Amino acid sequence: MAIRPILHYPDPRLRIPGERVETFDEELAQLVADMAETMYAAPGVGLAAPQIGVSKRIFVIDIATGEDQPSDLRVFVNPEILELGETCVSTEGCLSFPGSSEEVKRGKTVKVRAQNEKGEFFELEADGLLAIAIQHENDHLDGKLLIDRVSLLRRRILHRQMAKRAAAETTV
Ligand code: NI
C-alpha cells in the first residue's frame, strides 16, 4: 500500500471525468487499498480516484471517524445515483480544497447502486453524513467540484484562496 499525493484545485486533472472500470483485478485492488490509505492519512471521510490523478469511477468512504469506532470502509466502483431525497444544506470540506468549509445543497437521503472492488453489485440507501459523502464523491467522478456548487460570490473567494495557495506551493 502507498499514500498517493492528493491533487488540489485548480489542478486541471480534477476536471477529467472518470472512466468506467471494466477489469476487476489485482491492480484495481491495489488502487483501492492505496485510496483508502491516502484517505485515512489525510485524514478525510472520502476520496475519489480523480483526486489522486486516476480518471476512473471509483471512490472510498469511511465516516467512522471516532477513535474508538471500528473502521467502516465502503468502496464504490461505477456508482449510479438512483434516487435523491428532499434537499438539505450541508457544510462540506474537500481534500482537494484544503481548509475549505462550504454550504452546499444536497439530497438528504440517497439510493445508490455500485460495484465493490471484486465487481459485485450492491444497492445502498443512506442518510446523514454517508448520504452527503456519497453525493460529494460521486461529483468528483464527473469532474464536478465543491466550488461549482456554491454561490458566485463564494466561488470567487474560494478560487482566489486556492489560486494563492497554489502559487505559494510552487514558489516555495
Ligand atoms: Ni472532495
Per-residue pLDDT of 75-107, as tens digits, reads 999 999 999 999 999 999 999 999 999 999 999
Could you confirm whether 19 is annotated as catalytic? Answer: no
Question: 23 C-alpha vs ligand 1 centroid, how far in Å?
Answer: 25
Nine cell digits for residue 25: 483485478
Sheet containing 109-115, strands listed edge to edge, beginning at the edge strand earlier in sequence: 46-48, 58-61, 74-84, 109-115, 121-127
The chain-wide mean pLDDT, for the chain, equals: 96
pTM over 0.85: yes
Candidate CATH numbers 3.90.870.10, 3.30.420.40, 3.40.50.620, 3.90.45.10; the one for domain 12-87+106-146: 3.90.45.10
Question: 146 C-alpha vs ligand 1 centroid, how far in Å?
Answer: 7
Question: 120 C-alpha vs ligand 1 centroid, how far in Å?
Answer: 25
Is the previous residue joined to 12 through a cis bond, with omega within 30 degrees of 0? no
The dihedrals phi and psi of 59, each to the nearest 5 degrees, come to: -145, 160
Question: 118 C-alpha vs ligand 1 centroid, how far in Å?
Answer: 24
| pLDDT number for residue 60 | 98
Ion ligand 1 neighbours (CB, 5 A) are: 94
Q: Which residues have C-beta within 8 Å of that of residue 53, sequence separation ≥ 6?
A: 4, 5, 7, 13
The dihedrals phi and psi of 136, each to the nearest 5 degrees, come to: -65, -50
Coil, strand or helix at 48:
strand
Question: 92 C-alpha vs ligand 1 centroid, how far in Å?
Answer: 9
Per-residue pLDDT of 136-162, as tens digits, reads 999 999 999 999 999 999 999 999 999
Task: Select which of 67, 120, 137, 169 is catalytic.
Answer: 137
Distance separating alpha carbons of residues 166 and 50, to the nearest angstrom: 18
Question: Which stretches of the chain are DSSP H helices?
Answer: 26-41, 128-141, 152-171
The answer to whether residue 172 scores a pLDDT higher than 70 is: no
